[in-house]
Amino acid sequence: MFDGFKLDRISVGGASLRVRHGGSGPPMLLLHGHPRTHTTWHRVAPLLAPDFTVICPDLPGFGESGLSPDVPAELQSSKRAKAMLLVNLMAGLGFHRFALAGHDRGSYTAFRLAMDFPEAVDHLVIMDGVPILEALERCNARFAAAWWHWFFFYQPDKPERAINADPLAWYGGDPERMGHENYRDFLAAITNPCVVRSMLEDYRAGLAVDHLHDAADRAAGRIVKCKTMVLWSRKDDLESLYGDVLEVWQPWAKSIEGAPIDSGHHMAEEAPEAVAAALTNFVERQQSK
């Protein structure tokens, strides 16, 4: 897994981040979703490595990455705080401008990073996500039935008790489908009560503060300035919830395009060739203009 890549633990803002990086060429930062770790990219990263320097961290608060003690406790899991850690991580690696792709919960941190640090991001790819504010404002019975976990995870203590009682029953996971090493890393994360709590705090921050940051940006007329692409899983529920996914994103980005990927939700594991091709074509096509 990740042949030719280096695994490091790097201190940023008082937090230790676990980071896998390798390849050559312009930098691309990949951010995973819940409840995965950076190893979800193990089939995609090697396909990108001939053309890009690929950086795959565990999201702050996920896997083996911590949160910044320099941020007030109620804001540590905000996407703003996580974006700050990651932009400083990239600067520490020598990358002050880079392509950025985020999936699921990672898409919210990717979006916030592009909004707060426009000088750092030259291409943004959102995978299976819409802005948290849009999701909440469009919430209806269909959304509540499909994404009820957002509101359950917001509750104190009870989600931890439910998940930690039997993490595998809660999260599932197939080692054959995921790849055995990726599955072992995922298993280590979901069976660690501290990691479970920290992953849940990512959801709690979404309902507590992240949507307020989105609302402040919208009120101020701030949008993503770089070229932006949205990918969504054909067999997941983004289309059924929102219809035209790009229409949701239109007010938030100066330049937007996108397409579905023929896979279930964990597209990096299920359709790595399609994901890698989409990322490569998007960045290289924009660079050639």
63-72: pLDDT as tens digits: 999 999 999 9
Asked whether the beta carbons of 150 and 203 are under 8 A apart, the reply is yes
* pTM, full prediction: 0.98
Closest Cα partner for 182 from 23, 35, 34, 36? 36
Provide the annotated active-site residues. 104, 265
At 213, which helix (H) or strand (E)? helix 211-220
Q: What is the pLDDT of residue 285?
A: 78
Torsion of CA 44, 45, 48, 53, to 10 degrees: 160
Domains and their CATH numbers in the chain = 6-288 (3.40.50.1820)
Render pLDDT for 237-260 as a digit per residue (tens, 0 to 9): 999 999 999 999 999 999 999 999
Q: Which residue has the tokens 């937090």?
A: 15
The alpha helices in 71-192, defined as continuous H runs, are 79-92, 105-116, 132-137, 141-146, 149-154, 158-165, 167-171, 175-178, 180-190
**What percent of the chain has a predicted confidence (pLDDT) above 70?**
99
Q: Residue 169 and residue 165: Cα distance in Å, rounded? A: 9
Output the pLDDT for position 238.
Answer: 96
pLDDT band at 110 (very low <50, low <70, confident <90, very high): very high
pLDDT tens digits, residue range 133-147?
Answer: 999 999 999 999 999
pLDDT in tens, 31-56: 999 999 999 999 999 999 999 999 99
